[in-house]
Structure 1
Amino acid sequence: MQDIFYFTASLTMVVVFVTCIWFMWLMFIASKLVKSLTNVSYEWNVIKSKVLGFVLKILNKGTKQIK
């Protein structure tokens, strides 16, 4: 009876250990993904502001020519 207890306890510890390592790996991958997404959104905001600035320049030139 004691052998079964030791075996199941050891098996449970191994499973918990592997699960903890897997969870840490998952958090590491998630943090890298979030970091890359924030970089992409920052670059997207920069691109958006440049495009809007360019469009405003074109519109300002158009309104000056109409007057």
Structure 2
Amino acid sequence: MSVDRLLSVQEVADRLGTGVRFPRRLVEERRITFVKVGRHVRIPEWALEAYVAENTVQPITLRPNALRRAA
């Protein structure tokens, strides 16, 4: 079993480029895995990486002539 780093809410917010409200809301809505350490909340690095991967939207690739067609 490998030990993964536990991130604070502030560290998660910094990595996502958001304020602390967003990761706190993810925890409150149970949309991300978290660990309670006393009264502190910590989010494992793997859980943050999984959340980002799960919510990443791939771009749509269009054929070059698809935009030139008239209706």
More helix by share: 1
Asked whether the two chains share a fold, i.e. TM above 0.5, the reply is no
TM-score (norm 2): 0.29
More strand by share: 2
TM-score (norm 1): 0.30
Task: Report which structure shows greater RCO (CA 8 Å, sep ≥6).
Answer: 2
